[in-house]
Amino acid sequence: MKNDIYSAFDKTDLRIIECLRLEGRISNSQLAERVSLSPTACAARVKALERKGVIKGYAALLDNQQLLGENMAFVQVTMLSTSAAALSAFNAQVATIREIEACHMMAANFDYLLKVRSVNMNDFRRILAEKISCLPHVKQTSTFIVMESVKE
């Protein structure tokens, strides 16, 4: 028996999940055809995956490069304090900054890793100085500029 997360699902469920991951707006009849099920059986499996929380919802995948800019950077953030209140304040403010595409709390020698989009380096410098460095409880930042995205 495989000892990974995918072993909890049969091959049909995995095919459904992969199809929906790649094409969330596919019709049930097209999905059923791709996974070799009747439309009724396919709909029942999708509903079961939704009830289990495997499928959380459906959303549009946006091209953040077009919306926020082609310049991408990762910013390591080290906090002055990692108290619950400090982390909560930081998290709440990060959620308001549209240029921050992703934010991850880390178990590392820094506290957060931010994925930031900007139009160009001058725009990034402004975002870093006026938005990121001003976030609550930020001690220091380190920036890594992305030269090329190999896999997203």
Range of the domain at 27: 5-51
Nearest CA-CA partner of 13 in 46, 52, 47, 53:
46
Q: Are residues 72 and 108 in the same domain?
A: yes
Per-residue pLDDT for the chain (152 aa), expressed as one digit of tens each?
445 666 778 999 999 999 999 899 999 999 999 999 999 999 999 999 999 999 999 988 888 778 877 899 999 999 999 999 999 999 999 999 999 999 999 999 999 999 999 999 999 999 999 999 999 999 999 999 999 989 87
3-state secondary structure of 73: strand
Residue type for position 63: D
3-state secondary structure of 126: helix
Q: What is the CATH number of the domain that holds 24?
A: 1.10.10.10
Whole-angstrom distance, CA of residue 30 vs CA of residue 100: 36
Residue type for position 107: A
Overall domain count for the chain: 2
pTM strictly above 0.85: no
Instruction: Quickly count: other Cβ atoms within 10 Å of residue 127's Cβ.
Output: 24
Q: What is the CATH number of the domain that holds 130?
A: 3.30.70.920
Does residue 150 sit within a domain?
A: no
Does residue 120 sit within a domain?
A: yes
Whole-angstrom distance, CA of residue 10 vs CA of residue 36: 14
